[in-house]
């Protein structure tokens, strides 16, 4: 079996390429192939830690019956949907995710996901084939709760996706802000520094203690506009814990309007009856690349903004007009 490394799947370890290519093969079999010199790059012995480059010719010496057994053809489930694209280039794509849509699911996921829509989009443009021999699958660099709207970033190729994942993991040289509508006596600005603990069985998160397994969590926020007993705030995650904003604002007795898990149920009922709001008023508003090095250095200094959903805009207008 022979194939050429393309731009999309370049800059990854050779053993990872082979594992994706023979995705049903045991790891022991793949590493035995390297020991037996059955993997070559440009006609020479391939090593496990070799970093592939676009144009590399990869040769795998494997019996046809084993190749058929170990290489699984993939299918892309077609979906009739679209994305609200904020920015796109050859390496990445930034979209404004609507509420109610999962970013991605597991292999058996039957619901439409943003990831599936993204892959269909790339496939239709001829930028990605689900049966690409190297097995690379473009994908999102981070998650966003199903019922939180706003910015999601996808990497189209291996090098981009890996750098994005690193930026999100290290939380350096990027900055995200969220808009949230709170109820209560919201301070003009502040920092919330409460460790958070997630219950693995229920998925609920609560304020906890570091010595009992809770993880540090820090949120900064400022009031954008007040509307009586409500306030629209802009929040910045210094850390990125599950449900961090929702639990932190609950902890200072200023819950997010519409939050079914951590909010004020009576307030939620009012907004559901008047506006049909059935989930938290929380929106990933901006994403900024700061001083980014390496492959994505050209994105340094760029900030992207996702427009607030129409329903939330209507709620703000009603608050401004004094209808609540």
In a domain, 76, yes or no: no
pLDDT tens per residue, range 176-218: 999 999 999 999 999 999 999 999 889 899 999 999 999 999 9
Same domain, 250 and 301: yes
Between strands 303-305 and 282-289, the pairing is antiparallel
For residues 306 and 95, give the distance between their C-alpha atoms in angstroms, rounded to a whole number: 8
Which has the closest alpha carbon to 282: 309, 261, 264? 309
pLDDT band at 110 (very low <50, low <70, confident <90, very high): low
Please give the angle made by the CA atoms of 206, 209 and 211, to the nearest 5 degrees.
Answer: 140
In a domain, 192, yes or no: yes
Same domain, 231 and 193: yes
Average pLDDT over residues 75-101: 91
Domain residues for the domain of 59 are 2-70
In a domain, 79, yes or no: no
In a domain, 75, yes or no: no
Percentage of residues in the chain having pLDDT higher than 90: 68
Spell out the residues 6+ positions from residue 145 whose beta carbon is closer than 8 angstroms to its own.
243, 282
State the catalytic residue, choosing from 15, 56, 145, 264. Answer: 145
Please give the angle made by the CA atoms of 156, 157 and 159, to the nearest 5 degrees.
Answer: 130
- pLDDT attached to residue 62: 87
User: What is the DSSP-derived secondary structure letter of residue 312?
Assistant: H
99: tokens are: 């509420």
pLDDT band at 74 (very low <50, low <70, confident <90, very high): low
Least confident of 60-69, 70-79, 289-298: 70-79
- pLDDT attached to residue 253: 97
Stated pTM of the model: 0.82
> Is the pLDDT assigned to residue 108 strictly greater than 60?
no
Same domain, 194 and 312: yes
Domains contained in the chain, number: 3
Same domain, 217 and 147: no
Burial 254-284 (b: 16+ CB within 10 A, else e): bbbbbbebbbbeebbeebeeebebebbbbbb
Q: Please tell me the chain's helix, strand, coil percentages from 3-state DSSP, rounded to the nearest 5.
A: 25, 25, 45
CATH of residue 262's domain is 3.30.2350.10
For residues 82 and 305, give the distance between their C-alpha atoms in angstroms, rounded to a whole number: 19
Same domain, 185 and 276: yes
- pLDDT attached to residue 75: 66
Least confident of 7-16, 49-58, 280-289: 7-16
Same domain, 196 and 300: yes
Same domain, 181 and 250: yes
Most confident of 43-52, 62-71, 119-128, 251-260: 251-260
Give catalytic status of residue 145 as yes or no: yes
Q: What is the 3-state secondary structure (H, E, C) of 136-159?
A: CCCEECCCCCCCCEEEEEEECCHH
């Amino acid at each position: 079996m022979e194939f050429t490394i393309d731009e999309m799947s370049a800059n990854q370890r050779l053993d990872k390429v082979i594992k994706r290519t023979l995705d049903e093969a045991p790891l022991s079999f793949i590493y035995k192939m390297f020991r037996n010199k059955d993997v070559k790059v440009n006609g020479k012995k391939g090593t496990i830690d070799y970093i592939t480059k676009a144009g590399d010719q990869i040769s795998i010496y494997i019996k046809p019956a084993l190749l058929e057994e170990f290489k699984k053809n993939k299918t892309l489930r077609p979906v009739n949907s679209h994305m609200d694209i904020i920015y796109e280039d050859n390496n990445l794509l930034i979209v404004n995710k609507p509420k109610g849509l999962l970013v991605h699911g597991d292999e058996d996921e039957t619901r439409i996901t943003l990831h599936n829509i993204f892959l269909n989009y790339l496939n239709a443009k001829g930028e990605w084939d689900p049966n690409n021999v190297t097995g690379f699958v473009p994908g999102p660099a981070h998650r966003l709760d199903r019922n939180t709207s706003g910015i999601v970033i996808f990497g189209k190729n291996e090098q981009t996706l890996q750098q994005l994942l690193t930026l999100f993991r290290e939380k350096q040289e990027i900055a995200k802000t969220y808009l949230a509508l709170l109820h209560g006596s919201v301070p003009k600005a502040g920092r919330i520094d409460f460790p958070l603990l997630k219950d693995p069985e229920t998925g609920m998160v609560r304020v906890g203690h570091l010595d009992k397994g809770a993880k540090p969590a820090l949120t900064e926020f400022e009031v954008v506009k007040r509307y009586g007993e409500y306030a629209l705030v802009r929040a910045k995650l210094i850390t990125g814990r599950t449900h961090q904003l929702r639990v932190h604002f609950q902890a200072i007795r200023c819950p997010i309007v519409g939050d079914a898990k951590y909010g004020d149920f009576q307030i939620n009922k009012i907004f559901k009856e008047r506006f049909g709001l059935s989930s938290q008023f929380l929106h990933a508003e901006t994403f900024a690349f700061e001083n980014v090095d390496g492959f994505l250095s050209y994105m340094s200094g760029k900030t992207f903004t996702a427009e607030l959903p129409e329903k939330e805009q209507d709620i703000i207008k009603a608050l401004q007009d004094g209808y609540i």
